[in-house]
Amino acid sequence: MSLNHYLIFIITLCILNVYGQFVPDTRTGHSAVFSESEKKVYYIGGYNSNKSEPTEPNPISDFFYLSIGNDDFFEFTDLTSQAKLPLTVFHVSELGGANQDSIFILEGAHWNAEETNYVYRFDTKINQLSIPVVKGKAPSMRKGISSVSSEGKIYLFGGQIGSGNDVTFFNNFDIFDTINLNWQVGSLVNSPVGRSFYTATLVNGVIYYIGGRTQVNVYSPLTEIYQYDIVANTWSLKKATAVDADSMPGSRTAHSAVLINGKIVIYGGFFSSADTPYNIPAKKTIAMLDVNTLVWSIPNFDIRKENLIPNLAFHSGTAVGTVMLIAFGNFTDIPNNIDQTNKVIYSFLFGNPSQITSNVISSFIKVNSSNNPKPQLPTSTSNKINPQQPSSLSKVVIVGVSIVSVSVALAIFAAISVAYKRKKKNQVQSGDVLDNLNNEKNHYEYQQQYTSQFASQQSQQHYTRDPPTIESP
């Protein structure tokens, strides 16, 4: 092991031991659910394509949450051993039940081909997973569905089975009642054609369907917005425009969407065609659709700081007040022979009407101090940025990460360097460490922003063979 890798390993190990927090693995194909009452974002399932396939006969899914409460602000907690959910990817998860305190996990692809349970229920009060008794005919299992939950019902449209060029697209419209525990079927009159890996966003009782793939290398244009009115049980197709030609986002799949300040914010995704042997980032990584005028626009970022806008796909987007959390997924502008996995969570703070500030969240470090006020994510009633200062969230994260990480890293680096130089005084030339580090990520500038909690996750050999039943789309 070279000196630079040894130092990175020791520094990361010491930091994690000091703070004693669970650090999740990178992943795609997961789901994310925000519980406002619990002040937690739950991350469920997914897998790391860099890793070898599981060897145990019945592997279980990762199941953990990111706390945004005052007492344990931005800490991960692992629930995998309690939930024991069979390994599942590209599924959907939504809050439901009479008290909206259960997470229902539906559809997706299972590792075990003999797994026939279509619905799982996780009680957030006691952290317990169960298989409820469900009435009605269960729909066929499919992946790439985007869902919404309203009045105790989860709405699921489309999806696909298969992967690569061997794909079947569905336009089924299924409804799961989380209170009465039964399956229902919604209207398909004037519904869109089958599609997968689109987004569905609930706005005042109407579901907005955006993007996705309808055939191999065929994508739904973002000028077409399908709407489903829940109360009327009717579909309609609306035409979206843009403030100018340059603001019209490109077609995409595997993106995310959240509703903030009356606008649907889409993020990331990719596009492909018969002329390109690989996926390419979608045009305009981030864009906003006004839900009233159906006009697309590109948000302005706070020019007082450097903002990170990575090109990602198969990630999750979660709205917490006026903050959008972008987690996990794969980079779409990195060659296939390089580790594409995203190892951090990005936050986008929507402050003044059309101004955004982005940050990297170091969620494994406890940034609270008994001598300082505990930070809170801004809400819709408190979303202004002081013109003279960055947001309190940004300051806490940046200052906390910088002081703690740099102090610990420098101390350990100094101690190891002295010992190493005494033993190998003439074997290490100055500049070796920097040269090696500069070569590791192929000079991708934005990846230098990665925080130290993931330094121990070294790039592994790219895993190209699909698992038996969990294929990549």
For the question of whether the overall pTM of this predicted structure is more than 0.85, the answer is no
Strand partners, 242: 296
Contact predicate 23/75, CB 8 Å: no
What local confidence, expressed as pLDDT, does residue 212 receive?
98
What local confidence, expressed as pLDDT, does residue 378 receive?
44
What local confidence, expressed as pLDDT, does residue 359 receive?
85
3-state SS class at 120:
strand
What local confidence, expressed as pLDDT, does residue 386 receive?
30
What local confidence, expressed as pLDDT, does residue 83 receive?
95
Token pair belonging to 106: 């539906």
What local confidence, expressed as pLDDT, does residue 353 receive?
59
Q: Please report the domains of the chain, with CATH numbers, ordered by start residue.
A: 143-298 (2.120.10.80)
Nearest-5° Cα angle at 242, 236 to 245: 135
Between CA 39 and CA 238 the distance in angstroms is: 35
Max Cα separation, the chain?
Answer: 79
Give Cβ neighbours of residue 141 (< 8 Å, ≥ 6 apart): 107, 108, 109, 110, 118, 161
Grouped pLDDT means (10 residues each) for the chain, 473 residues: 41 44 90 96 92 80 90 85 95 97 96 82 97 95 97 98 92 98 98 98 99 96 98 98 96 98 97 85 97 96 83 97 95 87 91 76 42 42 31 37 44 50 39 30 35 31 36 63
What local confidence, expressed as pLDDT, does residue 472 receive?
59
